[in-house]
Amino acid sequence: MDIVDIFSYAWGGIKLRKLRAALTTLGIIIGIAAIVALLSLGEGFRIVITSQFERGFALDVLTVTAGRGLLASIIAGSGSEEYLTLNDTYIIDEIAGVKQATATLSKSIGVSLGTKTYTVTVVGINFTEYSTIYSTSFVLQNSSVPLNPSNDSIILGYRLYDPWKNGTILVRVGDYINLTWTTGSIAKPIVKRYTFHVVGVLKEIGGISIFGPSDIQAYIPITTAQEIFETDQVSQIQVQLVNSEQTTIDSVTDSIKNIYGDKVTVISPSAMLNTFSSILSTVQLLLAGLAGISLLVAGIGIMNIMIVSVIERTREIGILKSLGMKNKTVMTIFLCEAALIGLVGAAIGIVFGLGLSNFVTTFIFPLIGGGTNQTNAQGNRVVSNITPVLTPTVCLGAFFFGIATSVLFALYPAWRASKLKPVEALRYE
Amino acid sequence: MAPVVQTINLQKTYMLGKVPVNALRGVNLEVESGDFMAIVGPSGSGKSTLLNLIGALDRPTEGKVIIDGVDVSTLNDDQLAELRRRIGFVFQFFNLIPRLTASENVELPLAIAGINKRQRKEKTVELLKAVGLSERANHNPTELSGGEQQRVAIARALANDPRFLLLDEPTGNIDSKTADMLISLLKKLNEERGVTIIMITHDPNIAKQAKHIVRILDGKIIEETNNMNGGS
Ligand SMILES: Nc1ncnc2c1ncn2[C@@H]1O[C@H](COP(=O)(O)OP(=O)(O)OP(=O)(O)O)[C@@H](O)[C@H]1O
Ligand SMILES: [Mg+2]
């Protein structure tokens, strides 16, 4: 019996019990839909995250922080004993492959915008160096960055100027705003107030920024920052390289490590992105694994139904054998029935999964969070920008798993069918 | 001429729990090509058991079945399956596949034997015509009378030009008038096409129409008669 005949015979078997086949298929549909939805959402999420990070990043800029470890470096100014000062920028400047280095010092402090005071990350920078390193993102709306700013100059990120992006402007260029810095102990706080002159507002950058300019930060001269925060430390040193090639990144990283040993951590944007990607992949895999459990349940359903079906069709199997059908052909027929169920289930499941993920992104995600405060706004932007992405790998994988699960769980029932003794099968009532 | 089927000291013992049931106790039988043999005997005498062994549907406990000179006991499952393609079975309860039409049922053994689609169609049309059911080709078994179903079963059994036809009480479930028609058909096939027929029956009137009658009792052949007016 050739494979076309086997398939058409198997198809006849499925058609015989339409409702049952539909219910069995439903199991596969749900499993595959869950996997596809989760993976395509995950992929969409990864793309948004990556692109958002990329917008804030300059690929040719390394970030040097005191102490070790990624986490310690993200939390700026974490309680590390080692620290960097402005002097270190001059040391790093001398390294071959470095175009220029600039230091930043950032703290979260109160900033009065309009009638309210918000907690904002204020970054002390060298206006000239910073704006050349981040020449594409650190750009003012209507003017250029002042190269010799007065000590009370402040530049605002776009979202501090127009937080809801609806034209509700909190503060304008030329305004004076108050910064409140609280030191001392919790029991005995010392509140200091400074007045700053808004000299510019950044163009919208978009994205999430860990290093580099961001829409939700404010920028003041680093010397002023060190005075206010009463420190000679800097949080980070941004090192612009002559190019963004991996060899340059590696050699500069090595040189910095040679000078400072383990006292500093050097982070390259590409390494950062890779880390994020791999974390996201792991999470995605985990989610897919969870969805896989539903596929497992579907598989057990198929096995169950198949066993019943083999028992019901014992006589039919006896007839086929009396007509000279070989054991392996009997087995193939049942496996083909399962494969067809898997194929149809996977196809519908993929469509449903995509539909589900699109439904979630269009109707559910916009409901998450109101987006009134600054940090929320960033998260919301990420969530609302997600478009589900179905990669060919996921698509093929879904087909593969749909069919493989069905066939795998049909193996035992099919084997039982093939082993039936013709005489006994024919006697079966 | 060598017999188409030969059994030597054929024995079959079923185990009913721990009790052995000797369904066949040493049957020696020879069937020549072109024969029309009726097997008769009381219920439980072992007729079906014998037929199943001759048809390679089951393996004997003792003794041999030799089909076309080949000892069936030496064959593996696949070889047995291939052998069955050269044997036509007709059962008391028709055993058609309900979801297939008459012509699809007839076509099935041809598909199993790997005959190509075009030849299958031609052969199916020819067979249905031979059993007088051309008009019923696209009907499902449930839409056919018992006699018609049994004729479809005969057409199906003939599909692969078998060496012999085995019929287990083919008239057991149809009225006597239809049964007569069926027997006429079998006689015609036997005479005109030279199809070898081995048929179990309870009906003495039907047995009379065969060329030979083999009588079985308690798993043994007790009598073999040559029917002088058989085939006339
Ligand atoms: N699978 C089986 N397991 C146990 N005993 C069986 C089995 N098949 C047949 N027998 C027994 O073997 C004996 C012969 O059975 P068989 O079916 O060959 O009789 P039969 O001559 O065809 O009878 P009938 O005319 O009623 O069809 C009977 O006693 C029957 O009970
Ligand atoms: Mg019987």
Q: How far is B1 from chain A (nearest CA, A)?
A: 27
Q: Which residues of B touch A326 (CB under 8 A)?
A: 77-78, 81-82
pTM of the model: 0.75
- Chains A, B: CB pairs < 8 Å: 64
Q: Which residues of B touch A316 (CB under 8 A)?
A: 97
* C-beta separation of B66 from B7 below 8 A: yes
Interface check B52 vs A, CB under 8 A:
yes
Q: Phi and psi at residue B145, in whole multiples of 5°?
A: -75, 165
pLDDT at A42: 84
Compute the distance from residue B23 Cα to the ligand 1 centre, in Å. Answer: 6
- For residue B53, the chain A residue with the least C-alpha distance is A423
Q: How far is A409 from chain B (nearest CA, A)?
A: 25
Counting ligand 1 atoms within 8 A of each CB, the residue from B47, B52, B166 with the most, and so the one to mutate, is B47
Protein residue closest via CA to atom 11 of ligand 1: B23
Instruction: Tell which A residues from 321 to 360 touch B, by Cβ distance under 8 Å.
Output: 321-329
pLDDT digits 0-9 by tens, B114-133: 999 999 999 999 999 988 99
Report domain extents, chain A: 3-54+274-426, 61-242
Instruction: Tell which A residues from 278 to 317 touch B, by Cβ distance under 8 Å.
Output: 315-316
Q: Phi and psi at residue B209, in whole multiples of 5°?
A: -85, -10
Query: How many angstroms separate the Cα of A214 from the Cα of each of A169, A211, A404?
Result: 18, 8, 48
Protein residue closest via CA to atom 29 of ligand 1: B44
Q: Please report, in tens digits, the pLDDT of each residue of chain A (429 residues total).
A: 889 999 999 999 898 888 989 999 999 999 999 999 988 888 888 887 777 666 666 778 888 888 755 554 455 444 556 788 888 999 998 998 899 999 999 888 888 887 888 888 899 999 999 999 888 888 898 888 888 889 999 999 988 888 777 777 888 888 899 898 888 777 888 888 899 999 999 988 876 666 788 888 999 999 999 999 888 888 889 999 998 888 898 899 999 988 888 788 888 877 777 887 888 888 888 888 888 888 899 899 999 999 999 999 999 999 999 999 999 999 999 999 999 999 999 999 999 999 999 988 888 776 664 434 444 445 555 666 678 888 898 899 999 999 999 999 999 999 999 999 999 999 887
Q: What is the ipTM of this complex?
A: 0.94
Q: Phi and psi at residue A362, in whole multiples of 5°?
A: -85, -35
* Helix boundaries (H) for chain B: 47-54, 77-84, 102-112, 117-130, 146-158, 176-192, 204-207
Place of tokens 């054998």: A321
Protein residue closest via CA to atom 5 of ligand 1: B14
